Amino acid sequence: NIRGMSHKIVNLRVRDVRFPTSLEQHGSDAMHTDPDYSAAYVVLDTDSGLKGFGLTFTLGKGTEIVLCAVKALAGLVIGKSLQEIVSNFRGFYRLLTSDGQMRWLGPEKGVIHLATAAVLNAVWDLWARAEGKYHAMYLSIQDPKQIVSCIDFRYITDVLTEEEALDILVKAQEGKKQREDQMLKEGYPAYTTSCAWLGYSDQQLKQLCSDGLKSGWTRFKVKVGADLEDDIRRCCLIRKMIGPSSTLMIDANQRWDVAEAISWVSRLAEVKPLWIEEPTSPDDILGHAAISKALAPLGIGVATGEQCHNRVMFKQFLQASALQFVQIDSCRLGSVNENLAVLLMAYKFQVPVCPHAGGVGLCELVQHLILFDYICVSADLRNRMCEYVDHLHEHFTSPVVIQDAHYMPPKDPGYSCEMLEESVNRHEYPEGDIWKQEIKK
Ligand SMILES: C[C@H](O)[C@@H](O)CC(=O)C(=O)O
Ligand SMILES: [Mg+2]
């Protein structure tokens, strides 16, 4: 029992929460020109009164479909106790992802996998809260044996066995306490994407960049991919503002074919981007490998992962040297369980992890995973940073804390994705006040 209680899950509620971010072009890129940052927001009720909060990130219209999938999974969760789940977490992960009928929808990809993440994120939140009053989620995943017991190694044992994973985690125990103290003091390095969404005017870019520099940001990501001349102008403008010693990344959100990606990015080489993110289809592993090879002489790496749908895909990206930066996502993969597998594979291949964040709630969630990565797996900060986007944090009960462009470790109990009840009510689609006003317009 966890602190003397089994915490039986007696109900699962899921709500469609949407923010009209597209109105001001926040979050816009070459493929998502009108994103309304949204979440399928899950609350688990237990017989002890303790609740677990989880979410998966989506964009507007897709949210209702994710809600249906969460409701379809609810029957596998209600009636289970937290104790029962975490004593065989690998088994529970498999129960959700390998249901004989529902796996036909994935398996382990698309809407059903986003729904799995929402449910499991809520379970991890519940677990962390059950462990103690001030137990942030990243502290729940510290014991090597317990960590490997949460991972489903099916389909990845050709590159990472349970024994190897355990060995990595046990070796990383050395220096763990110092790294934890270092994080508490300094925080984890971050970069910002808030300055340069594709729909922003040059005036806005300049203003946001200059505000960012004043607040201590030194790493900036710019959206590209709609128009080459426009990209050259915008990237040169930003490089000039941030100076040669700051880091610049560019993100095309899957806009190009392989050859087009190589020629387009070569034209942007003069602004010295560290990486090109999602140059082509997120499923095209060999395409990414070709792009990586062509851009390596220019000193530009390839980053991808926000739409890389499972550990098997990541395994192949790593095997094929198709990426130089692994961008895990707290909701695209099957929650913490599957992210742990990817962090360990990235470590084995010695490829740095730079998580995708932003949206609504992704920064709150992923900060736990990257802290875990540094403290318990990689012990390395070289070429590593976590994305930060400055939107919608005010809707959370424990929003992320950024200090001097670093994520400060969360101190509140849980997985940091509980939303304020009032925010959920106001933004619930289509009944919330925000949407009633929007629909009337
Ligand atoms: C639609 C989202 O805003 C997307 O552009 C985010 C993204 O690619 C990133 O943060 O990276
Ligand atoms: Mg991106």
pLDDT value for 164 = 98
- Residue 438: pLDDT band with limits 50, 70, 90: confident
Answer for the pair 236, 222: CB distance below 8 angstroms, yes or no: no
Would you list the domain boundaries of the chain? 168-422
Whole-angstrom distance, CA of residue 197 vs CA of residue 194: 7
Distance 72 CA to ligand 2 centre (A): 29
Instruction: Look at ligand 1, atom 8, and give the residue with the nearest C-alpha.
Output: 253
ipTM for the complex shown:
0.99
Does the pLDDT at position 134 exceed 60? no
3-class SS of residue 42: strand
Averaged pLDDT of the chain: 96
Q: Which residues, including other chains, have CB under 8 Å from residue 362's CB and lie 6 or more apart? A: 57, 329, 330, 331, 356, 389
Model pLDDT for residues 314-367, shown as the tens digit of each residue: 999 999 999 999 999 999 999 999 999 999 999 999 999 999 999 999 999 999
CB of 358 closer than 6 angstroms to any ligand 1 atom: yes
Answer for the pair 435, 22: CB distance below 8 angstroms, yes or no: no
Share of the chain above pLDDT 90, in %: 95
pLDDT value for 367 = 97
Answer for the pair 82, 2: CB distance below 8 angstroms, yes or no: yes
Instruction: Look at ligand 1, atom 11, and give the residue with the nearest C-alpha.
Output: 356
**Superfamily for domain range 168-422:** Enolase-like C-terminal domain (3.20.20.120)
CB of 356 closer than 6 angstroms to any ligand 1 atom: yes
Q: Which atom of ligand 1 is nearest to the CA of 26?
A: 3
Does the pLDDT at position 54 exceed 60? yes
Instruction: Look at ligand 1, atom 4, and give the residue with the nearest C-alpha.
Output: 27
pTM of the model: 0.97
Q: Which atom of ligand 1 is nearest to the CA of 35?
A: 1
